[in-house]
Structure 1
Amino acid sequence: MNANQMINMAVRMIMRKLMNKGINAGIDKFSQRGGAPNPQGARQAKDMVKRARQAARFMRRF
């Protein structure tokens, strides 16, 4: 394995972690904006966030 391959591997790992943190932070920020006035709305918001994270994971794999 040459130096270029090792550097690329390290950069990909770091970028993957940074991208995941950024996506999760954005989804969390979006889901908290406006607040939910009732518990059912809060539960729906959490479900929506969960589905959005799953979709983001799927798209990264795709």
Structure 2
Amino acid sequence: MNQMINMAMRMIMRRLINMGINKGIDVAANRGQRGKDLTPEQRQKSGETSKRAKQAVRMSRRIGRF
């Protein structure tokens, strides 16, 4: 029973941590501004920046496995 609880907690924590990392990347890419306050050009640039940052996080996780 303890193993099942630990497994469920790990799954939940992993999902929450990933959500937190993604949200932090989005906030940093927008430089703390709200989405509605951004111009279309800034919105596009922040989207590209956050996409690259998320890609880098995924790559670092893969490298860290070895």
Range into which the TM-score falls when normalised by the shorter chain = 0.5 to 0.7
Identity of aligned residues (%): 51
1:53 corresponding residue in structure 2: 54
Residues 1:43 and 2:41 aligned together:
no
Residue 20 of structure 2 is aligned with which of 13, 19, 22? 22
Q: Would you identify which runs of 4 or more consecutive aligned residues in structure 1 move more than 6 Å? A: 34-38
Cα separation, 1, equivalents of 2:8 and 2:40: 45
RMSD: 2.4
Cα separation, 1, equivalents of 2:10 and 2:32: 35
Cα separation, 2, equivalents of 1:34 and 1:22: 15
Please give the TM-score of this superposition, normalised by the length of structure 1: 0.68
Unaligned runs of 5+ in 1: none
Please give the TM-score of this superposition, normalised by the length of structure 2: 0.65
Cα separation, 2, equivalents of 1:38 and 1:60: 32
Aligned residues: 59
